[in-house]
Amino acid sequence: MNKWRMAFFTLLLLFLIIPIAIAVMLFSDPSGGRLDRSSLDTDIRDNQKLLSIHTEKEQVEDLLNKELRKKAPDVNVYVNLRNDEAVLNGSFIAFDQELPYQVTFEPEVLDNGDLLLKEKDMQVGRFPLPGDEVFTLIKKTVQFPEWVDVYPKDESILMRVTEMPTKKGYAVKAEEFDLKKNSIKLGVYTKN
């Protein structure tokens, strides 16, 4: 056999084998088609944390005010988160006059992930008033979401964050509500 003919067939063979070998290496599954399950947690437990949400008071304030306007469009009430306190501002009609009120709360994250707002200061107009009466009035005039409870005798509002409507199988829990540091953290958990 001619030396040129041998070189031609060798070169032709290399031109065919190299692209085929590269294609096989590129398109073949390195695990041989088997899924490595060792890195997967197939046992998702109830109350397992899936992710954390870190936000600031401005975003939470906007969200709360939108929810209040949606639930009670005819009631003059809004939330203001400032420094280290949450403030509920609104007004009600008494003696055919509109009277403004302001309730200042100190937020506290409970162990179960709910948020308790304890009354710190309350004013109607410029006068400080007993809290339980104003809380009773707030409870009667403002239609809060079903996961918010007003307790006039305790002068507090419980935001049952864990019972907020979410997609089925998930729950939200408050983890941090530090207005002074402008840090609000929520966790998303599994729920059966």
Sign of CA dihedral 26, 31, 36, 39: negative
Average pLDDT over residues 171-191: 90
Element (H, E) at 103: strand 97-109
Nearest Cα neighbor of 180 from 75, 65, 71, 83 is 83
More confident site: 42 or 116: 116
- Res. 39: pLDDT tops 90: no
Average pLDDT over residues 143-159: 88
Q: Do 100 and 90 meet the contact criterion of CB atoms below 8 Å apart?
A: yes
| Spatial distance between the Cα atoms of 104 and 89, rounded to a whole number of angstroms | 9
Report the chain's terminal Cα–Cα distance, integer Å.
Answer: 78
Look at residue 1 in the predicted model and tell me its pLDDT.
62
Q: Among 37-46, 103-112, 129-138, 157-166, name the one with the lowest average pLDDT.
A: 37-46
Q: Is residue 185 very low, low, confident or very high in pLDDT (cuts 50, 70, 90)?
A: very high
- Res. 103: pLDDT tops 90: no
Phi, psi of 12 (to 5 degrees): -60, -45
Q: What is the dihedral of CA 47, 52, 56, 57, to 10 degrees?
A: 0
Look at residue 151 in the predicted model and tell me its pLDDT.
92
Q: Is residue 114 very low, low, confident or very high in pLDDT (cuts 50, 70, 90)?
A: very high
Q: State the average pLDDT for the chain.
A: 82
Look at residue 176 in the predicted model and tell me its pLDDT.
93
Look at residue 40 in the predicted model and tell me its pLDDT.
58
CA distances from 143 to 45, 66, 155, 185 (A): 35, 13, 17, 26
Look at residue 69 in the predicted model and tell me its pLDDT.
82
Look at residue 37 in the predicted model and tell me its pLDDT.
64
Q: Is residue 72 very low, low, confident or very high in pLDDT (cuts 50, 70, 90)?
A: confident
Q: Do 56 and 183 meet the contact criterion of CB atoms below 8 Å apart?
A: yes
- In 105-173, which residue ranges form alpha helices assigned H by DSSP? 131-141
CA distances from 139 to 77, 122, 156, 177 (A): 12, 15, 11, 24
Element (H, E) at 171: strand 170-178
Q: Among 47-56, 71-80, 99-108, name the one with the lowest average pLDDT.
A: 71-80
Element (H, E) at 65: helix 57-71
Side chain identity at 69, as an amino acid letter? Answer: R
More confident site: 188 or 40: 188
Domain assignments of the chain as residue spans, ordered by start:
57-160
Look at residue 164 in the predicted model and tell me its pLDDT.
85
Look at residue 108 in the predicted model and tell me its pLDDT.
92
